[in-house]
Amino acid sequence: ENQRLRCQHPFLPPTFFCLIFARRQSGQSTLKRAGVTGPPPRETLARTAPTLWRQEPGLGLRCRHRRFQCLVHAREPSEDSLVSRLEVVTLPSRLPGGLPVRSCAQELQLPVHEWPHTGPIGQFDVGVVASFGRLLSEDLILQFPYGVLNVHPSCLPRWRGPAPVIHTVLHGDKVTGVTIMEIRPKRFDVGPIIKQEEFAVPPHCTAKELEVMLSKMGANMLISVLKNLPESLKNKKEQPKEGVTFAPKISIAKSCIKWEEQTAAQIIQLHRAIGSMFPLQTLWKGATVKLLDFEEVDNIPGFEGWVGIKTVILKKQLTAVDFYNGYMHSWFQQNSRTVHQECRFQTLKLITFIWKYEKSMLLCSSEFSVH
């Protein structure tokens, strides 16, 4: 008896959506051996990698490869073998060479299809989606006897939407988690909770680092749910109506620092949340400067709320020492207060900043009170 399992790639953003198909190993299913009767047996499914945004292609591929190993192991012959065939569906891509998900699937010799083509209709038991970014139709959901599951990297109903990990870091949450829920048509992230586990956010963690941690956690949770799917679905519960927050998509405009509005702590949090996707930007003497390698700086006499920046990009990448020596030193040799004001980082509103150079690091502090 052969069945197929379809799942959709967890934790990938809309451009990295994929479906995964699996064929059941021949012989009696695990669920039937357990005495379960009814619809076709559900197979165990594994989850895949997080998006590494604009990481180097090799690094991104290796990370995704590790997540796909869960699926590959699920189909390896053994006493508990559950899956014999996997297939992947991805969205169309304009990237050279296609999406990393496609490359990884091909490396693992998995058949790949391009959305909206999802393969044979009505031959799959359960679907799993993650960060697809598009609503699934009711007709599509009904093709699965056990419905469609969603692996979401937050403790729903907190941070519904396409960027939960980023908003977790951006808002300084101490605890997050992973939710496996049932997909409902017409609305995102509102279905019943099948399984949810909390995860303590490590101090100073970036969104990229947190996403890798949650992806591993989600992989284990998803396999656990699918091994006991009928029982898991039986114990599902509706999401609470209290505590709902939303995690909208992040645009590049978010990377523009508002020195007059944001505290030093908020700027550091912003860098940790989106820095690997969009380097933070500011103005210096009318030119756009990208700020890299942020560090928190304490105990600056006479000021509070300093931000340390070790590397900037102005025409090319420069260390703090090179930037100071090449652009700032000659200005600070002049004693004119006007010259000093022109030499400060500014927002689009041209809010001025005090600058200090110390120990190969650029230190800046708003003239406004920073708490």
pLDDT of the chain, 371 residues: tens digit per residue: 333 333 333 333 333 344 544 443 443 333 332 223 333 333 323 322 222 222 333 323 333 344 455 545 555 555 565 555 667 777 787 777 777 777 877 888 887 878 777 777 777 788 878 666 678 889 888 988 889 899 999 999 999 999 999 999 999 999 999 999 999 998 999 999 999 999 999 999 999 999 999 999 998 998 899 888 899 999 999 999 999 999 999 999 999 999 888 888 899 999 999 999 999 999 888 888 999 988 877 756 666 677 888 888 988 888 888 887 777 766 666 655 555 555 667 664 433 344 443 434 454 544 433 33
Which residue, among 221, 222, 76, has the nearest Cα to 148 in the 3D structure? Answer: 222
Cβ-based neighbours of 301, under 8 Å, separated by 6 or more? none
Question: Would you state the structure tokens that stand for residue 221, as one six-digit string?
Answer: 């949770």
CA distances from 102 to 64, 70, 76, 178 (A): 10, 16, 21, 25
Answer whether 294's CB lies under 8 Å from 309's CB.
yes
CA distances from 156 to 176, 220, 248, 258 (A): 9, 18, 14, 30
Where does residue 61 rank: exposed (0-12), middle (13-18), buried (19+ CB within 10 A)? middle
Confidence (pLDDT) at 343: 60
Cβ-based neighbours of 129, under 8 Å, separated by 6 or more? 8, 9, 10, 17, 136, 148, 149, 150, 151, 183
Give the pairing type, strands 316-319 and 345-346.
Answer: unpaired
Give the pairing type, strands 280-284 and 345-346.
Answer: antiparallel
Cα 66 from Cα 143, distance rounded (Å): 30
Answer whether 8's CB lies under 8 Å from 86's CB.
no
Helix, strand, coil % (nearest 5) of the chain? 30, 25, 45
Cα 21 from Cα 15, distance rounded (Å): 19
Q: Which domains does the chain have, with CATH numbers?
A: 4-234 (3.40.50.170), 252-366 (3.10.25)
Rounded to a whole number of angstroms, the CA Rg of the chain reads: 25
Cα 66 from Cα 49, distance rounded (Å): 7
Question: Would you state the structure tokens that stand for residue 246, as one six-digit string?
Answer: 């939303």
Q: What single-letter DSSP state applies at residue 24?
A: B
Cα 187 from Cα 359, distance rounded (Å): 52
Cβ-based neighbours of 334, under 8 Å, separated by 6 or more? none
Confidence (pLDDT) at 72: 53
Q: What is the pTM of this model?
A: 0.73
Cα 213 from Cα 129, distance rounded (Å): 18
Cα 124 from Cα 142, distance rounded (Å): 11
Answer whether 201's CB lies under 8 Å from 217's CB.
no
Question: Would you state the structure tokens that stand for residue 215, as one six-digit string?
Answer: 């992806």
Q: Which residue has the tokens 């969205």?
A: 91
